[in-house]
């Protein structure tokens, strides 16, 4: 009987390890869906992504952390790359994922053709920034404060071209005078016409 060297067995063990289970049926992000799980093809780990448009193509995902039961778990770097209207886009999250969703302190960069278009940093919960900083480098906008679904909501401060506006925001709207609204992440007209 031929013996297999011990060193060979140690090298072969990782190759024998099972891949994590697949995401739940029907929850894998597909073209046309706005949200769902994406899978890192190199290691089988999966995480939750949202905000995709129907025109999304060429979706690729990578995760550098652990995934003990399939979902990305713990500290790491999560990168989602896709194409939309001929433009390559990316979301790069560095921080902690819990059950495939961003939680705790972290950063999220939204990129277009290699350029940062929105930078988020602060406290995340259920895969969304809830308190921290949102910067839009192209326009020089910087918001710091409470956030709900990507919009200022609660106490916060917006700096626009050196001018600061501070107060209690409601779903992306800040009333700066009796008939004047400042909006972030939505049209200013909608602040006047909708019951906030």
Structure tokens at 118: 């929105």
Q: Phi and psi at residue 10, in whole multiples of 5°?
A: -60, -40
Predicted pLDDT at 32: 80
Residue 11: predicted pLDDT: 44
pLDDT for the residue numbered 13: 42
The pTM of this model reads: 0.85
pLDDT averaged over every residue in the chain = 88
β partners of residue 60:
81
Question: Which of left, alpha, beta for 149 (phi over 0: left; psi -120 to 50: alpha)?
Answer: left
Report CA dihedral (44, 93, 38, 15) to the nearest 10 degrees: -10
- Find the largest Cα–Cα distance for the chain: 90
Judged against a pLDDT cut of 80, whether residue 113 lies above it is answered with yes
The string of pLDDT tens digits covering residues 43-68 is 999 999 988 888 888 999 999 999 99
CA distances 3 to 81, 90, 172, 175, Å, are 46, 49, 69, 79
The pLDDT confidence band at residue 14, using thresholds 50, 70 and 90, is very low
Nearest to 123 by CA among 143, 137, 102: 102
**How many residues does the structure list for the chain?**
196
C-alpha torsion sign, points 118, 140, 185, 132? positive
pLDDT, tens only, 60-98: 999 999 999 999 999 999 999 999 989 999 999 999 999
Identify the residue whose tokens are 């652990």.
Answer: 66
Q: Look at residue 12 and tell me whether its pLDDT is greater than 50.
A: no
Distance CA 117, CA 44 (A): 29
Residue range 107-128: average pLDDT? Answer: 96
- pLDDT, tens digit, 9 for 90 and up, residues 150-175: 899 999 999 998 899 999 999 999 99
- Give the range with max mean pLDDT: 11-20, 45-54, 108-117, 170-179: 108-117
């Amino acid at each position: 009987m031929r013996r297999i060297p011990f060193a060979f067995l140690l090298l072969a063990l990782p190759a024998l390890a099972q891949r994590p289970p697949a995401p739940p049926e029907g929850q894998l992000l597909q073209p046309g869906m706005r949200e769902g799980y994406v899978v890192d093809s190199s290691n089988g780990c999966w995480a939750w992504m949202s905000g995709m448009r129907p025109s999304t193509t060429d979706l690729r995902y990578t995760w550098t952390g652990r995934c003990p039961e399939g979902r990305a778990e713990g500290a790491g770097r999560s990168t989602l790359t896709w194409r939309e209207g001929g433009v390559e886009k990316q979301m790069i999250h560095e921080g902690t994922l819990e059950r495939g969703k961003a939680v705790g302190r972290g950063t999220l960069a939204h990129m277009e053709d290699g350029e940062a278009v929105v930078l988020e940093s602060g406290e995340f919960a259920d895969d969304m920034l809830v308190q921290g900083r949102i910067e839009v480098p192209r326009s020089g906008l910087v918001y710091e404060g409470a956030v709900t679904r990507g919009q200022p909501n609660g106490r916060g401060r917006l700096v626009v071209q050196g001018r600061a506006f501070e107060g209690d925001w409601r779903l992306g709207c800040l009333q700066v005078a009796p008939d004047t609204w400042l909006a972030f992440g939505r049209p200013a007209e909608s602040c006047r016409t909708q019951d906030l």
